[in-house]
């Protein structure tokens, strides 16, 4: 007889690599009813962020005397072993449980079922498949929302309805079928089908649960297929295909955050199949000086030993492109920006784009004020900067915090949150270890970001 372990956890954050479990609940289901239950608070051995306490009600004092995961690991392993792991958004719960077992020196592997994916097939066409919305639609009571046992109990009722409505779907989903010829030998079709077609980062694991590759994609499922399909099957690709035993991911909402997190995770994990990332070599700089008439002039040139550029670039082309963009936006004179060479009026003056500083028709104070505004914008990009970006769904947005152009943290804010001051978004931000590679990613993306999505913090 097949038994199902309905699992729900509460954690210190949304990412298993850097966070821990604070509460776990397991309900053993035989396909008809719950036959056994288990629940406990856990001491995560680290602080619980304030916003997590606000969401779950679990605070530091509640877990101070609770057991650690290592202390309950064997009991929980015995309960889960041999059963199908079921959860709402299963990869979240499974990744945490798997990581905790690994930290306890235990290798946990299980067949998985996701009640989100099953619900999409059994109850198609719903606007949302979050646990709360599904329970509202199906008249399932949640006794204690955002607590492990309350959510697991509701998930068990949902699973019972799914099983009753379509037992053949449950059995079919459980069945291993590697009919996709491009798939690695240890990756099932079911695992592949679960991959999201959304932007994010993904992790490949070997048989020991070790991360061997980190990547980013606008479409994770499509990118996964690209790794292992096609005629090019070099030695490294074949070896990776043989070694990969599992894949997990983290959705980001967009390419910008995906690139940033990929850089962070490669630096943190140093996976064996990732080429080491190198910082681009900046060899050009933007310099400011005053001419003999007091006009502030801009010039892009190669970096000099004792010079103080206001901005740096990897190439002459990048420097000129940057200057062209700023010149047009702030209506600066291309000749005064070193972009055109002439003794008289610049070409832009002749076509009405330059206000005539080069012709003596725009006074020095007015012109210099525009240059100072441009320099102020550059300075703001180097200060503490809060950027808002697309969330993982329509109910949230991402927030990213940069200091001196380097990512300091990120998070996701529900759109229903009333954030009257930008500083309030900081409560949702999880700090990260800064890495210099994120500076170059911000630099390449900042021109594509709308000014309304960027806020300079004091």
Domain residue limits, the chain: 4-175, 193-269, 284-377, 385-456
**Of 83-87, 98-102, 175-179, which range is least confident?**
175-179
**pLDDT higher than threshold 90 for residue 275:** no
Task: Report CA dihedral (410, 201, 390, 133) to the nearest 10 degrees.
Answer: -100
**Of 268-272, 277-281, 398-402, 452-456, which range is least confident?**
277-281
Cβ atoms of residues 377 and 332 within 8 Å: no
Quickly name the fold that domain 193-269 has: GIY-YIG endonuclease (3.40.1440)
Banded pLDDT at 281 (limits 50, 70, 90): low
pLDDT digit string, tens, across residues 193-234: 999 999 999 999 998 999 999 999 999 999 998 888 754 444
Q: Is the full-model pTM beyond 0.75?
A: no
**pLDDT higher than threshold 80 for residue 379:** no
pLDDT digit string, tens, across residues 1-32: 789 999 999 999 877 667 899 999 999 999 89
pLDDT digit string, tens, across residues 137-182: 999 998 888 899 999 999 999 999 999 999 988 888 886 433 445 7
CA–centroid distance for 117 within its chain: 21
Q: Sign of the C-alpha dihedral, residues 182, 187, 192, 195? A: negative
Other Cβ atoms within 10 Å of 96 Cβ, number: 24
**pLDDT higher than threshold 80 for residue 423:** no
Banded pLDDT at 445 (limits 50, 70, 90): confident
Q: Give the mean pLDDT of 100-120.
A: 90
> Quick one: pLDDT at residue 92?
84
Residue with the bigger pLDDT between 241 and 255: it is 255
CATH class of 4-175: alpha beta
pLDDT digit string, tens, across residues 304-323: 877 788 888 878 888 898 89
Q: What is the 3-state secondary structure (H, E, C) of the chain?
A: CCCEEEEEEEECCCCCCCCCEEEEEEEEECCCCEEEEEEEECCCCCCCCHHHHHHHCCCHHHHCCCCCHHHHHHHHHHHHCCCEEEECCHHHHHHHHHHHHHHCCCCCCCCEEEHHHHHHHHCCCCCCCCHHHHHHHCCCCCCCCCCHHHHHHHHHHHHHHHHHHCHHHHHHHHCCCCCCCCCCCCCCHHHHHHCCCCCEEEEEECCCCCEEEEEEECCHHHHHHHHHCCCCCCHHHHHHHHHCCEEEEEECCCHHHHHHHHHHHHHHHCCCCCCCCCCCCCCEEEEEEECCCCCEEEEEEECCCCCCCCEEECCHHHHHHHHHHHHHHCCCCCCCCCCCCCCCCCHHHHCCCCCCHHHCCCCHHHHHHHHHHHHHHHHHHHCCEEEEEECCCCCEEEEEEEECCEEEEEEEEECCCCCCCHHHHHHHCEECCCCCHHHHHHHHHHHHCCHHHEEECC
């Amino acid at each position: 007889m097949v038994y199902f372990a309905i699992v729900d956890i509460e954690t210190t954050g949304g990412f298993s690599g850097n966070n821990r479990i604070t509460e776990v609940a397991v309900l053993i289901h035989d396909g008809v009813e719950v036959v056994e239950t288990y629940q406990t608070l856990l001491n995560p051995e680290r602080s619980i962020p304030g916003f997590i306490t606000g969401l779950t009600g679990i605070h530091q004092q509640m877990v101070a005397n609770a057991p650690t995961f290592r202390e309950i690991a064997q009991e929980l392993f015995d309960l889960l072993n041999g059963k199908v792991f079921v959860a709402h958004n299963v990869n979240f719960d499974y990744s945490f449980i798997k990581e905790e077992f690994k930290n306890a020196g235990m290798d946990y592997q299980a067949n998985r079922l996701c009640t989100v994916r099953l619900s999409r097939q059994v109850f198609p066409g719903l606007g949302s498949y979050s646990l709360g919305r599904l329970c509202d639609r199906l008249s399932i009571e949640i006794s204690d929302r955002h607590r492990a046992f309350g959510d697991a109990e509701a998930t068990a009722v949902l699973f019972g309805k799914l099983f009753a409505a379509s037992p053949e779907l449950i059995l079919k989903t459980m069945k291993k079928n590697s009919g996709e010829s491009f798939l690695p030998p240890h990756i099932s079709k079911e695992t592949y089908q679960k991959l999201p077609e959304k932007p994010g980062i993904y992790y490949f694991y070997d048989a020991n649960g070790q991360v061997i590759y980190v990547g980013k994609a606008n479409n994770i499922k499509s990118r996964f297929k690209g790794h292992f399909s096609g005629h090019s099957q070099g030695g490294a690709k074949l070896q990776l295909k043989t070694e990969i035993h599992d894949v997990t991911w983290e959705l980001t909402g967009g390419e910008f955050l995906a690139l940033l997190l990929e850089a962070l995770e490669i630096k943190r994990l140093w996976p064996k199949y990732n080429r080491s990332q190198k910082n681009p070599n900046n060899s050009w700089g933007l310099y400011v000086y005053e001419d003999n008439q007091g006009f502030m002039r801009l010039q892009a040139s190669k970096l000099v030993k004792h010079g103080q550029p206001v901005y740096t670039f990897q190439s002459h082309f990048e420097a000129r492109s940057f200057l062209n963009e700023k010149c047009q936006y702030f209506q600066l004179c291309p000749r005064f920006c070193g972009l055109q060479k002439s003794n008289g009026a610049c070409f832009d003056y002749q076509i009405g784009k330059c206000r005539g500083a080069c012709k003596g028709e725009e006074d020095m104070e007015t012109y210099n004020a525009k240059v100072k505004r441009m320099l102020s914008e550059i300075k703001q990009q180097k200060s503490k900067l809060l950027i808002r970006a697309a969330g993982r769904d329509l109910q949230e947005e991402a927030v990213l915090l940069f200091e001196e152009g380097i990512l300091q943290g990120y998070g996701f804010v529900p759109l229903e949150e009333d954030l009257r001051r930008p500083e309030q978004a900081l409560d949702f931000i999880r700090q990260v270890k800064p890495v210099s590679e994120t500076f170059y990613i911000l630099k390449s993306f900042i021109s594509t970001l709308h000014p309304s999505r960027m806020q300079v913090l004091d």
